[in-house]
Structure formats: structure tokens, C-alpha cells
Chains A and B, each alone.
Chain A
Amino acid sequence: MISSARLRRLSCALLLALCGLCGALFSQPAVAQDISSPLAQLATDSYADTEAALGALALSGSPAAAGIVSALADGKLVFSAVPRQVFLRTEAGLVDPLTLQPVADPPAVKPVRVNNRVRRAIEAANGTLSLVSPDPARRLEAATAVARSRDTAALPALDLALSKEADPKVKTALTLARASIVMGQPGVSDAERIAAIGLVGAEGNQDALAILQGVPAESSPAVKQAAADAIAGIERSLAMWSMAQNVWYGLSLGSVLLLAAIGLAITFGVMGVINMAHGEMVMLGAYTTFVVQDAIRTYNPGLFDWSLIIAIPLAFLFTGLIGVIIERTVIRFLYGRALETLLATWGISLILQQAIRTIFGPTNREVGAPSWMSGSFDIGQLAITSGRLWIIVFAILVFVALLATLRMTRIGLEMRAVTQNRRMAASMGIRTNWVDAMTFGLGSGIAGIAGVALSQIDNVSPNLGQSYIIDSFLVVVFGGVGNLWGTLVGAMSLGIANKLLEPYAGAVLGKIALLVIVILFIQKRPRGLFALKGRSIEA
């Protein structure tokens, strides 16, 4: 319910507006729901009256107002000279604008005419009306627009809207808009201005900053000081948030790097095999996702949200199998010849790329996101997309699972034994050949799992793997070969450093700077952040 004080103020505003615009005075008391006088004005066939009526309608708070204004904009508002009355023209014939009931005995009508001034008034009225629209999103939008325009004329509408507003978010926006108008309005006391500045400053976002920067130059020093303080405060908080956002992006990039590199940390770090085909294992994982989704779309579309969950074990098994085959047919003949493994696996990577290109074509394949991976939410001023969040969670899960496999399972124990001392392990009855194949299969399988995740954020094309291979090697080398924790720290620090550099240097220069930093870092610590210590290091 609207309080009587509000009503009085509203009617005053309405009357003032009418006086100012057309000079016509209406003696009957204006009541919020009563829009008979503006309706009568619309029927006078005068542009000035129409304009005034629009202003009054917008502030009337009547539920019929929006319909009338939009009918006017569409040329569907008509009037009859005798009796002076307006109607809406609908498909069902003329209807009464208030009751929307058909008129029983339609008189001769003409449309209410519109010129540019009236069109502007329609726009303004629409703006005001959207402040009280039933849709909160529209109200929010309108409030932000008013705050930007700082149009003094919108003040009464704002007051009206504020009195009705229940949604806290919209209410803040309205308060902000009101404060921004008050700040610039002549004839307002310094205390009121400073209070408004305080209100705006407390918002602490980009909009508030723009409002505060618009404090009129002729304001008193106290007001200016308050504004300057508020601006400094907002800039500090904005800088903090943008830093936090960059760190978030960095974590996200870091988790992508971690996923891509962690399989390599096994094959390269644990086995010492330089697997240049590692990127192609990632690619195969991504294509497995594509095939799974394709099958699901064809046979059982209802399962689509489960497609990634289904793809993960399949990708692991498929790429793991390919890995075991590669190990058995090529790599096992090359142990101890690290640089030659590099060449052979590079050859394998070319073959795999070309094979995929032949089967699936050279273009990008569409891999969809399940519904639980789309969408986003805000924490303060951080925009967090669910997809990225899931990838971070997934990377951590994979990392923990891998760590647990190496630490707690029999095969993990055997892998570590073979890595540390192959001959001793063999003497203890461990089938080192078999362990080699399993280790390589594990590393490849993890790469396949990474491919499932990366299919969500990257183009699934035959070249997918190429874009990760250099980064992955850098992560492993930077973190320290043979140490999974090093890979984690390496991936995260490279990811965050990359995103923190980007705002200053741009994406490409930032990347170049990072490459140079890693190259220099390797000069300083040739064995990475977490180097294995021991006599076996020196070859």
C-alpha cells in the first residue's frame, strides 16, 4: 500500500509537471490509480497535451499505463472527438484502455498523432514505466540506465519505484541511481551530497566509479574531497577484485596445464621417456568424447548429461591401450636413448594426427557441454563459470587419484621401484617390462582423461594436442622431473603467472615473457623446482 505522504508528493510532482508542460491546470485531485485526466488529454489532439499525458501516465502507477504507452508507440491508440475519449485498437475491435472491455457502440475514431517530441516522451515514459515493471531484471536495467543518464526528471519516478521496491538488488540500484542524481542536482545541501557520495561509494563497482567521477566541478571542496576519497576507495577495491579475477583465471589455466602435463609427468618424469605423442593422447581422449556424444545423440539423447562421465573411463581405457601398444612396439626398444625416443614419438604423433584427420576430417568437431557444466555465478565481483570450476575440481581429483595410485597400490609401488632401481626391482621378481608398459599406459590414459576435460574448453581438431605439448613439457621441466607435486606447483604457478602478466603485456607478449622466464629459470635450477636429490641424477 502506498502511504498518504507519498501520494501527496506524487500528485504534487504530477501537477508540477503538468503546469510546466502545458500550462493547463486540472482541479480534481490526482490519485495514483486515476488516470482519467491524462486520458482526457490524449484525446485533445494536441502534441503538447499528449506529451504531458505521457509524463503523467508514467508516474501514475496504474497497471494500464504500460499498455497505453506501448499502444501509442505502435499507433494503436485512437480517440474520438465526440465524446472526447481514447480507445485501444485491438484485433477484437476498440477496447476501453482501463478495463480492456470491448466498446459496445464504437464512435468514429482517429489515431492519436505522434511527432518526434512525443516519441521522445514515449521513450522517457517507457524508461520510467520499466522502473516499476513487474520483471526485476528489467527494473534493474532501468535503474542502471537512470543512474548513468543522471536525468533530474527521473527523480519522481525513482521515488515512486523506491517506495514499491522489494527486491534488495534492485533497491540498491535504485538508491544508487537516486544518489547519483541528487549529487548533481542544484540546490542540494553539502551534507545531502556527501551522504549520497557515501551511498554510491559503498557500492564499489564500475558504475559507482563512473557516477562519482561525474561530481560537478563547481561543488564545494568538502564534496569534492568526499568524492575523491570514495573514488580512491573504489579503485582500490576494484583493483583487488580484478587481481582476484586474474588469479581465478590463472587457477583455471593452471588446472588445464596440470591436466595436460600430469600424464607427461608419469611418462617423462617417472620413466624418462620423452613422449612427443603425448598431446595426441589428449587429442584422442577428446575425440573419444566426441564419439561417445555422437553415439548418445543417436541412440539415447536422454543420457546426454552423463556423456562426460561415460567418456572418462572409455577415454582412459582407449588411450591407455594405444599407449601400451606404442610402448610394446616402439618405445621399449629405445630405453636409455632419450633423444631418439623423442624422434620416434614425434613420428607417432604425426601418424596419429593424420589418422584422425583421415577418419574425422580436418575441421573442428562439435563437443557439447552437459547442462551441469554451463552457467555461471558471482562471488562478490568474481564471475565464476561452472565449466571452469568443474575443470579445476576435475584436475584436482585426477591429481589425487594419480598420487594415491602411485603411493597406495601394488602397481604404484612396483612403478616406483622400477624407476628407482630397475635391476634391483627385477631381482626382486618385478616384471619390469610389464611395469613399463603399464606405466606408459597409465600416463597415456591420464592424457586421455585430460582430453575429455579439454574437449569442453578447446576446439576438438586433429591439432588439439600440438597446442599443449610445449606447455606441458615446460610445466614438467619447470616443476621438476619425477615429482608429481612439482608438476602441480609448476602448472599452477605458470597458469597464474601467465594470467597476471596478460593485463600488462597482452596475451602474446605475456606468453613470450613466460617462456623467457622459464628458460631463464631452467638456467638457475636445471632440474626444476623440486629436483630429485641423489647420485643417480648425474648421467
Chain B
Amino acid sequence: MSPSDTRPPALIPTNGLVFLGVLAAVAVLVPLLNLTTSPDAAVHVPTYVVSLLGKYLTYALLALSVDLIWGYVGILSLGQGAFFALGGYAMGMYLMRQIGTRGVYGDPVLPDFMVFLNWKELPWFWYGFDLFPFALLMVVLAPGILALVFGWFAFRSRVTGVYLSIITQAMTFALLLAFFRNDMGFGGNNGLTDFKDILGFNIQSDGTRAVLFFLSALALGLGYVLCRFLVRSHFGKVLIAIRDAETRVRFTGYRAENYKLVAFVVSAMLAGIAGALYVPQVGIINPSEFSPANSIEIIVWVAVGGRGTLVGAALGAVLVNYAKTYFTSGFLAPYWLFMLGGLFVAVTLFLPKGIVGTYYEWREKRRPPADAAGEPLPDPKPAE
């Protein structure tokens, strides 16, 4: 807590330190317990749990990217899943090229599905994906460029609020339809799968999975610091102002659309990175990642955790997905959609600030009024 009102808030507030601390502990302990303990030991973490937790971490990063634009700029994107999937496809394409002659058809260049479709040569947009650095570049560039073009059009013509939500949904729906087509050259319905190795390491091995897990945790931590840095800066202040009163920000002389565009592109790139980390751990990427329902689900993670709190977004993603895993695997499976649906309703009605936001509020009430201005509390009131 800052002792004085004049000092800017810390880059990493107390809850952020707790978050990063827990994350670091998990990042080190989980792989360690998986690799060094014997499978019989009580503290042993099975490999499937490592992959599962790794998946949660990528979801947390995805949620973080949504919180950056929804919590701080008021852009409710119902197409964030598209950026996630694009990052995932970029990584998937690299992994496909790594299969080489070990595919079913043994073609050294063409992935199996292209041989199956009787294609003679690699389409131009697959060039370069055999190089890891190029693939990494595309992981951020592909979602980034899409966000840049889409956002440039949308923000310049001042499409806001609900309208923006609906056209982002239309965007991801269009991509869903497009990626379902075999002619697109992305594996159609089945997507990309059967990956063998990444940078020469077997993708199924415990060691690789541990490293991927660690990298996911690292990416989440860095993503959090980046978002904190952005929202704490002058740039972030303008973003929050845009969220609360866009017209007034314009009247003050700021080009609101440029600020929104930068935030949107950064958020898309973060989502792309999350997707790229997700694919090798899950082992498949297919067009269903583009489905509008997925994108809406991301929103609920953020809403549950607490919109505009960053830590809450990550927490919400992990909690909701843990609940999902728990409920969809047991006898409760048929009721999961009731649960999820009920969660949507309950959170919006009774917990509009989410878990972390409500905690802030509770802490605020207990604190003596003089000390109240420590951390600028994001106001979850929507812009429109």
C-alpha cells in the first residue's frame, strides 16, 4: 500500500505480489514434483495434471488479455477466441511441419491432410513455418494484424458498445466458417493434430511438458507485469478515461481510437501467445476454437474473477476451468451447463465486481476513510 496519496501506485501491488509469488511457486514446484518424485509418492504430480494445469495457465493469460480491453477500455470483444485460435494455428502449423516424414503418408513437406486432399505443393501461407522463429513471429503477428485491421476500421468509425461486441462475434463466426473449409489449407474440420516434437524434443515426454508448463507460467507472469505496466502508465489512465466517458476524452483532445487500437492489438497478441502455448500442451487445434460460444465463455471467466483487476481475470479462468473439469468428468456431467449458465446469471446479478473486485470493496469498507485513495479502484461500470 502506498503510504501517501501523491505517489503513483506501485507497479506490482500487494495482491499482484501474492499472485506472482504463487505463480512462481507453482511454476517451479509442479514440474519439479512431476519429474523428480516417483509415481508412487504422495506428492507426485502426474503428467496429465501438468498438462491440465498448463492449459489453465494459458486460459489465464487469455483471460488477462480480455481483462485488459474489457476491464480497462470497456471493449467487450466476443471474438477474443479468434486471436487465441490464430496464435494456436500458427504454432500448430510449425508443429505440423516438424512431423516431416513421420506422418501417415510420409510426405517430407506436405502435412497428411494435404496429401489426403491430393494437393501437390505447399500453399504459400505455409512457407516459413518450418522455422521456429518465424512461427513465433506469426504467433503474435497473425492475431496482431487481424486486430489492427479490424480495430482500425471499427474504432475509427466509432463502433462502440454492443455494436462492437456483435461485429467481433461476427468476425469469429466468419473465421469459424472459413477454417472449417478444407480448401483453406488449415486441415478443415479436423484441424491440426498428431504433433510429434517441438524444437527436436518429443512433445509427449514429461520433460517437454514440464518446460511448456514453466513457459506458460512465465508468459502469464510477464503478461501480468506488462498489463500492470500499461494500465498504470499515462496511457492506461487515458484507457480508463475512455472506458468511463469516451466522448469527454475526445473533447479533451485525445485520439481515443488510437489508444483503443493499441490496447486491442496488444490484447490480441497476448491471446495469440496464449493460444501458441495451449496447442502443444493440448495436442490439437481445430476450428471449434473459433466458435462464438468459446469467446463468450472467456468473458465469464473474467466476470467471475473480477473485471478490471487483472489478477481476478487469471483467478477466474483457473477457477471456472477447474470447476468445468470437475463437473464434466463425474456423474454431474449433464448438469455442467446448468452450472455454467447459473454462474453467468449469479455473477452478473450478485457479484457484478467478481471475486477479486468484491474483495477490494470489502477491504475498502474496513479501511479508515483517510487512507482510502491508495490504489485507484477500477470501476466496473461499463462505458455504455
Contacts and interface: CB of A to CB of B under 8 A. Distances in A.
A350 B165 contact: no
Nearest to A539: B384
Interface in A322-370: 330, 333-334, 337-344, 346-351, 353-355, 357-358
A276 B342 CA distance: 14
A297 to B, nearest CB: 28
Given A342-B76, A353-B337, A520-B153, A347 B343 contact: yes
Contacts of A244: none
B344 interface: yes
Please classify the interface of chain B as helix (H, G, I), strand (E, B), loop, or mixed, using the class held by over half of its residues.
helix
Contacts of A72: none
Nearest to B344: A347
A1 B384 CA distance: 85
Contact of A470 (B292, B337, B343, B384): B292
Contacts, number: 133
A519 interface: yes
Given A274-B162, A342-B165, A354-B338, A512 B174 contact: yes
B256 to A, nearest CB: 14
B147 to A, nearest CB: 14
A473 B169 contact: yes
Given A337-B382, A343-B300, A508-B180, A526 B349 contact: no
B309 to A, nearest CB: 16
Given A344-B349, A351-B338, A522 B163 contact: yes
A78 B174 CA distance: 70
B166 interface: yes
A524 interface: yes
B177 to A, nearest CB: 5
A348 B166 contact: no
A350 B337 contact: yes
B184 to A, nearest CB: 10
A274 B347 CA distance: 17
A357 B160 CA distance: 36
B241 to A, nearest CB: 15
A470 B51 CA distance: 34
B344 A539 contact: no
A522 B334 contact: no
Contacts of B296: 276, 343, 346
B340 A350 contact: yes
A330 B174 contact: no
B299 interface: yes
Contact of B341 (A342, A350, A524): A350
B154 interface: yes
B352 interface: yes
Given A343-B299, A347-B343, A520-B153, 17 more contacts: A334-B349, A340-B348, A344-B348, A346-B341, A346-B344, A350-B337, A350-B338, A350-B341, A351-B338, A354-B335, A470-B169, A470-B292, A508-B178, A518-B170, A519-B153, A519-B170, A538-B247
29 contacts: A334-B348, A337-B352, A338-B161, A339-B165, A339-B384, A343-B296, A343-B348, A346-B300, A347-B344, A348-B341, A350-B337, A350-B341, A350-B344, A351-B341, A351-B342, A358-B334, A470-B170, A470-B292, A474-B166, A508-B178, A511-B174, A512-B177, A515-B173, A518-B167, A519-B153, A519-B167, A522-B157, A524-B157, A526-B159
- Sorted nearest first, the 9 A-B pairs with minimum C-beta distance are A347-B344, A350-B341, A351-B341, A354-B337, A515-B174, A347-B341, A344-B348, A523-B157, A347-B345
